[in-house]
Amino acid sequence: MEYVFRGQGQPFGERDLRDMGLGWSWKREHFLENVPNYLLRIDHVPTGRSFIVDLDEHEVRADLDGDGRIQSREVLRGNSGGVNLKAIIAAAEAIRAENDIPWPGAGSRSHPDFVSGFRLDQDEVNRLKKYKGDPKDLGVAPKLTDLQVHTLMFNLLGRTAETASYKENKAGWKVFEKGAFRVLFQTLGSIVMFGNVLKGSISVKNSDMASRRPRKRTGIFGSDGNIDRAKLSRYRGELTSMAAQYPNQAIPQADFLAMLEQKDALNFLTRAQWKSLFRLLERMGAKAEFTVANFDDFYSNRLFIEAFNRFASDDLKAQLRGTT
């Protein structure tokens, strides 16, 4: 049985009545083409749990049914698994207030147990907040994989579609490369190697990225899209020993690439990827050398965030801040 929702001209059914019984209420914003709410992923470090916080309506969602997704209906009504509901909301508010852009891993001095998992994009917000915005009940991921975070610069505004468009891909390369020709070359090259040439896009679904990654690579990013911490530690240890052989503890590009080649972790594609990183280091004022600190910043994404802050357009920054 359906009714007309007063003032909206929308069908109002039994599910909506049940929702209202739980204390949910539809608002004007929920019927817009794009719901304007600001939603932020939050990770509770001690428990490893992930939440999605609506900072406009002070509402928290989590994967309550354990299916690996968060649906609109999965709203927390109290503390969960030892995590205080009010603390989750307060932490999200503090992280947003204390960070220009709440990149994954960004924290708050007043809530050290929580870190950001990044802001949801518009499609994700619509799935969780829009009236009938998720007809297939797909929900959204509670947490981005490490590889998704690592490639975030190439897909900053379109994660839900699991596809990086030509425009988004090019915006990422503008952060990393200097010069219009190099940006265009890298954009088109990445589409040829990893994407759909006819559509000009790249799938960022973990299964697709895993199948298209080159065989010769470090393997630090595992098949599940997350960092293999044991392998990361081994590489870091070997890099530390290697760097100690140089007066400034910085490994020249040629020697670093030779080390990877000896490990059978280098081919045409991965060589080009590492060379792009060295060009970025030079653009940021360093030499074509690699240090342990560079290694740490690269795999923690601090290097990419610094590059974004220095080289991204003001318009792109404003979109991520939510000020446009």
Q: What is the pLDDT of residues 225-266, one digit of tens each?
A: 899 999 999 999 999 999 999 989 999 999 999 999 999 999
> What's the full length of the chain, in residues?
324
CA angle 94–294–176, rounded 5-degree value: 80
Cα–chain center distance at 250: 30
Question: Higher model confidence: residue 289 or residue 12?
Answer: 289
pLDDT above 90: percentage of residues in the chain = 58
The whole-number average pLDDT for the span 196-206 is 79
Pairwise CA distance, residues 244 & 112, whole Å: 34
The CB-side HSE value for 29 (13 A sphere, CA atoms) comes to: 11
The whole-number average pLDDT for the span 112-132 is 93
The whole-number average pLDDT for the span 8-23 is 50
Pairwise CA distance, residues 15 & 68, whole Å: 23
Considering only 143-152, 156-165, 212-221, 296-305, which range has the smallest mean pLDDT?
Answer: 156-165
Buried b (16+ CB within 10 A) or exposed e, 259-270: bbeeeebbeebb
Residue 14 pLDDT > 60 = no
pLDDT above 70: percentage of residues in the chain = 89
Confidence of residue 21 (pLDDT cuts 50, 70, 90): very low
Beta strands in 139-200 (DSSP E): 163-164
Residue 312 pLDDT > 60 = yes
Question: Higher model confidence: residue 19 or residue 182?
Answer: 182
- The Cβ of residue 14 has, within 10 Å, a number of other Cβ atoms equal to 10
Residue with tokens 């928290």: 60
Confidence of residue 1 (pLDDT cuts 50, 70, 90): very low
Long-range CB pairs of 217-223, under 8 A, 24+ apart, other chains included: 217/265, 217/270, 218/260, 218/263, 218/265, 219/265, 220/299, 221/146, 221/147, 221/150
pLDDT at 168: 86
Residue 83 pLDDT > 50 = yes
pTM above 0.75, yes or no: yes
Strands 39-44 and 202-203: unpaired
